[in-house]
Amino acid sequence: MKNSLWTKDIGNYEEEKTMILTRELIAEMLMKYINREIDLSSLVSWAEDMLREADFEGRSFELIREILSNIGLADVREFGLTWDDCYELLHKLGYDVKVSYER
């Protein structure tokens, strides 16, 4: 799977723009997982793909790499990904997490 924003023809060759992974995008994916819009295997697969193929937002390089690594290990039984883990990861990304429910 290629993670590119777009590919543009220039003359006889193609220039590929690589996806820049931000803290915001990671937070969006964690929220999709928490809200059951994606399952754990999809989240883990996405994190592994991002580790291999995406460029990380410069000011958050170390944090993004650490969080993606944690998510990438979540499918291993000994590690997993609990609600507390998601809360902590979102907090590290700069988000306050509040839970609400609807009927």
Establish if 55 belongs to a structural domain: yes
Q: What pLDDT was estimated at residue 16?
A: 54
Q: Pick the closest to residue 19 from 11, 29, 30, 10 (CA basis).
A: 29
Q: Is residue 45 part of a domain?
A: yes
pLDDT of residue 79: 82
Q: What is the pLDDT of residues 44-91, one digit of tens each?
A: 999 999 999 888 988 899 999 999 999 999 988 788 899 999 999 999
| Sign of CA pseudo-dihedral 59, 61, 67, 72 | positive
Identify whether 35 is part of a domain: yes
* Segments forming the whole domain that contains residue 59: 20-92
9 in any annotated domain: no
Asked whether residue 29 is assigned to any structural domain, the reply reads: yes
pLDDT digits (tens, 9 = 90+) for 4-23: 433 344 454 444 566 789 99
Q: Is residue 77 part of a domain?
A: yes
Which residues are CB-neighbours of 4 under 8 A, at least 6 positions away? 16, 17, 18, 19
The number of domains in the chain is 1
Q: What is the DSSP code string of 32-83?
A: HHHTTSS-HHHHHHHHHHHHHHPEEPGGGHHHHHHHHHHHHTTTSTTT---H
pLDDT, position 83: 92
Instruction: Write down the pLDDT at residue 80.
Output: 85
